[in-house]
Amino acid sequence: MKPLLEVSRLTKYFGGLAAVKDVDFDVYPGEIFGLIGPNGAGKTTIFNLINGFYRPTSGVIKFKGRNINGLNPHKVCKLGIGRTFQLVKPLLRLTVLQNVMVGAFARTESANKAREEAEKQLEFVGLLDKRDRLASGLTIADKKRLEMARALATKPTLLLLDEVAAGLNPKETADMMDLIRKIRDDGTTIIVVEHVMRMVMGVSDRIMVLHHGEKIAVGKPKEVATDGRVIEAYLGEAYRA
C-alpha cells in the first residue's frame, strides 16, 4: 500500500531555532497516526507545515504522491486535508449550522448544498439537535465536535486533529475516542496530536514521538510506551508502572 502522506527530512527554523529538524514519517490510508511529545516538541508546527500555514525551511511533504510544499492553506484544503485547532475558535455569532456551512463552502458555491452537507456532518458528530443554537452557547466538548464537523464538511481524505481531548472529562474523552474511530471507519485517515495518553494510546494504530523537534521513536502504542527514550523524554517512569 502506498502512503497517503509522505514526509521527508522536514525542517523548520524560526530564526536560529529548529522547531522541527529532519523529521521523516509516512501515513497510510485508513490509519490513525498519533503524534505525541512534550510541549514545544514541534507537533503543531508539523500540522502547520502540512496544511500550508508555514513553509518548510527544507524537506518535502507529499500528499497522494504530489509535492505540496508551499501551497496555501485553502489549496491544501481543496486537495483533501482538513484540520482542527488546539484552541477551538468557532464563529460565535453564527449558529452551529452556519459554522459548519462555512466548511462546506470549500466544496460548493450553493447555499442549499452547503446546508445539506452541514446537516449531514452535524448528525454524524451528534450535534444536529443543536443546529440552531449560537456557537457561543456550546460546551467545550460540543465546540470541539463542532470544529470537527466543520473540518469534515470540507470532505477531507486526511484529517489533522489537534488536541481534541484537551479539557474533556473521562466520559467526554471516551465519546471523543468513539467519534475518532467512527471518522476513520467512514473512510478518513487521521493524524492526531494529543497529550491525553489514554486517548492517543487507545485510538492510534501507530505513534510518532517528537522531542526538541526531532523524531525519537515511531511504532505501535505498546512499543512506544515501553521505549526507554520516550519514557525519559516524555512519559516518565510512572506511566510505565
Per-residue confidence (pLDDT) for residue 236, from 0 to 100: 78
pLDDT digits (tens, 9 = 90+) for 119-169: 999 999 999 999 999 999 999 999 999 999 999 999 999 999 999 999 999
∠ CA 77-53-215, rounded to 5°: 100
CA–CA dist 61, 64 (Å, integer): 10
What residue spans define the domains of the chain? 1-80+158-165+189-241, 82-155
Q: Is 0.85 surpassed by the pTM of this model?
A: yes
Per-residue confidence (pLDDT) for residue 106, from 0 to 100: 95
pLDDT digits (tens, 9 = 90+) for 70-122: 899 999 999 999 999 989 989 999 999 999 999 999 999 999 999 999 999 99
Q: Do 146 and 96 touch, CB atoms closer than 8 A?
A: yes
Per-residue confidence (pLDDT) for residue 239, from 0 to 100: 62
For the segment(s) 1-80+158-165+189-241, the CATH number from 3.40.50.300, 3.10.580.10, 3.30.420.40, 3.60.20.10 is 3.40.50.300
Find cell 510512572 and name the residue. Answer: 238
Of the listed ranges 3-7, 178-182, 187-191, 230-234, the one predicted with least confidence: 230-234
pLDDT digits (tens, 9 = 90+) for 172-204: 999 999 999 999 999 999 999 999 989 999 999
- Judging by DSSP bridges, how do beta strands 214-219 and 206-211 pair with one another? antiparallel
pLDDT digits (tens, 9 = 90+) for 11-58: 999 999 999 999 999 999 999 999 999 988 999 999 999 999 999 999
Contacts with 201 (C-beta within 8 Å, 6 or more apart), sequence order: 34, 207, 221, 225
Residue 8 clears pLDDT 70, i.e. is over it:
yes
